[in-house]
Amino acid sequence: MSKKLGQTDSRVLLVTGGAGFIGSNFITYILQKHPEDTIINLDVLTYAGNLENLKGVEGDPRYTFIKGDIRDRDMVRGLFKTYPITHVVNFAAESHVDRSIVDPDIFLTTNIIGTEVLLDEAKRAWKIYPEDKYSKEYKEGVRFHQVSTDEVYGALGKEGLFVESMPLLPNSPYSASKASADLIVRSYQKTFGLPVTVSRCSNNYGAYQFPEKLIPLMINNCINDRSLPVYGDGMQIRDWLHVIDHCSAIDAILEKGETGDIYNIGGNNEKANIEIVKLIIKTLGKSEELITYVKDRPGHDRRYAIDNTKITSQLGWKPTYTFEQGMKETIQWYLDNQKWIERVVSGDYQGYYERMYC
Ligand code: NAD
Ligand code: TYD
């Protein structure tokens, strides 16, 4: 196929939240898989941002780190002026449900306002006729991808799966902020014709996950013989996806996804929380006496489960990890990276930016 005028082979990706769990895995994945790509990682380094996750790519000339906030419009505009950005992949977010119950405000400003700032500046930079409010012509090949979550659909009962056409019924301040962002993204496509895609994926697990989420928290506590706090009856169900499978799915959407479309991403691994906790205990050779049932999370969603038919049939993506293999490797990774987790738990990792960049 002949190349269209203005189309370049090399992409310049603005990856936001790239120092977090999924973003850092994604940057490493893309730089390995696409030698022609350049990545600008924009991250404000909240408690969840850890540049140590990116040690492996720090010296790569195709990679640049910028410390900054997606809510900072002037700074974001400056980035679009400085770099020939062709893609935005927006991971930046406050991502933990429990924190959103304690302090929702920042979830609204980061997840909603931050997304709107990125969309608006992408529109301004990519529009061929920026002053014409009716024009929907954009530079060739540009794309804004919003990383969303299956939690925007709310909770399922015992039966059924989330499909892309379902209404949004979020139950926590976190999921409500992500659902709001999805609607803003939709409005930029419908009103301004901005080339966007959205992915909604299930719970991720794998290397470099901050130990406040279920799997790394339980692994770390179990290794250290600390109690394992299971909310309520432990029978809530999540549909687990290995982080590398999430990265390959976003890669497929960037390459082949239809503008304006939403893609569910799931690993077909429905597990009750208590099953996972028991699997971690067994793998580490510890006692089930470590399990402590604690008061349930308010508004706790009972079950999430993804129908991934659209992405598998239309884009040819499929998950490669079985849950058993993924968990085995993940537990081993935490055992092999005790120093990483010690620095995260002690807060020492937050000095890394000063040590490296200042
Ligand atoms: P994370 O909390 O590990 O990382 C979030 C990153 O965003 C951090 O590096 C943080 O410093 C950065 N950030 C936060 N506020 C920012 C701001 N205002 N400006 C710039 N950077 C900012 O999150 P994660 O688990 O890697 O999740 C990434 C994305 O994937 C999020 O949008 C989340 O909603 C979505 N998601 C996550 C999961 C999961 O299981 N972890 C599942 C579905 C969807
Ligand atoms: P989490 O990893 O916080 O992800 P999410 O809330 O986005 O699904 O929690 C996964 C499940 O594990 C959820 O049902 C809550 C439960 N959970 C516990 O039982 N104990 C814990 O200490 C944590 C962090 C989570």
Q: Where are the domains of the chain?
A: 12-208+241-269+299-322
CA–centroid distance, 229 to ligand 2, in Å, is: 10
Using CA atoms, how far apart are residues 220 and 18, in angstroms rounded to an integer? 23
Task: Look at ligand 1, atom 21, and give the residue with the nearest C-alpha.
Answer: 43
Q: Which ligand is nearest the CA of 218, by number?
A: 2
- Contact between residue 86 and residue 12 where contact means Cβ atoms under 8 Å apart: yes
CA–centroid distance, 94 to ligand 1, in Å, is: 6
Given the residues 174, 188, 321, 352, select the one marked as catalytic: 174
**Quick check: CB of 70 below 6 Å from ligand 1?**
yes
**Quick check: CB of 93 below 6 Å from ligand 1?**
yes
Our answer to whether residue 52 is catalytic in this structure is no
**Quick check: CB of 86 below 6 Å from ligand 1?**
no
Our answer to whether residue 159 is catalytic in this structure is no
3-state secondary structure (DSSP) of residue 170? coil
Q: What is the pLDDT of residues 242-256, one digit of tens each?
A: 999 999 999 999 999
Q: Give the pLDDT score at 7.
A: 44
Q: What is the pLDDT of residues 37-83, one digit of tens each?
A: 999 999 999 999 999 999 999 999 999 999 999 999 999 999 999 99
Pairing label, strands 143-149, 241-242: unpaired
Question: Is it the case that residue 6 has pLDDT exceeding 50?
Answer: no
Pocket of ligand 2 (CB under 6 A): 97, 203, 213-214, 217, 229-231, 236, 238, 273, 297
Task: Look at ligand 2, atom 9, and give the residue with the nearest C-alpha.
Answer: 214
What secondary structure does DSSP assign to 179-221, as a single string?
A: HHHHHHHHHHHHHH---EEEEEE--EESTT--TTSHHHHHHHH
Q: Give the pLDDT score at 357.
A: 81
254 closest CA partner among 24, 90, 61, 58: 90
Using CA atoms, how far apart are residues 288 and 137, in angstroms rounded to an integer? 60
Q: Which atom of ligand 2 is nearest to the CA of 273?
A: 12
Q: Which ligand is nearest the CA of 205, by number?
A: 1
- Report the DSSP beta bridge partners of residue 148: 200
**Fold for domain 12-208+241-269+299-322?**
Rossmann fold (3.40.50)
CA–centroid distance, 93 to ligand 1, in Å, is: 4
Q: Which atom of ligand 2 is nearest to the CA of 300?
A: 14
Burial of 260 (0-12, 13-18, 19+ CB in 10 A): middle
Distances (CA, A) of 134 to 89, 192, 193, 195: 26, 8, 10, 15
pTM over 0.95: yes
**Quick check: CB of 45 below 6 Å from ligand 1?**
yes
Sign of the Cα pseudo-torsion (63, 66, 71, 74, in order): negative
Our answer to whether residue 151 is catalytic in this structure is yes
Q: What is the pLDDT of residues 29-43, one digit of tens each?
A: 999 999 999 999 999
Question: Is it the case that residue 199 has pLDDT exceeding 90?
Answer: yes
Using CA atoms, how far apart are residues 166 and 341, in angstroms rounded to an integer? 38
Distances (CA, A) of 343 to 51, 94, 112, 270, 286: 12, 21, 31, 32, 24
Using CA atoms, how far apart are residues 94 and 278, in angstroms rounded to an integer? 29
Q: Give the pLDDT score at 260.
A: 98
Owner of token pair 């992405």: 311
Q: For 139-149, what is the mean pLDDT? A: 98
Q: Give the pLDDT score at 9.
A: 64
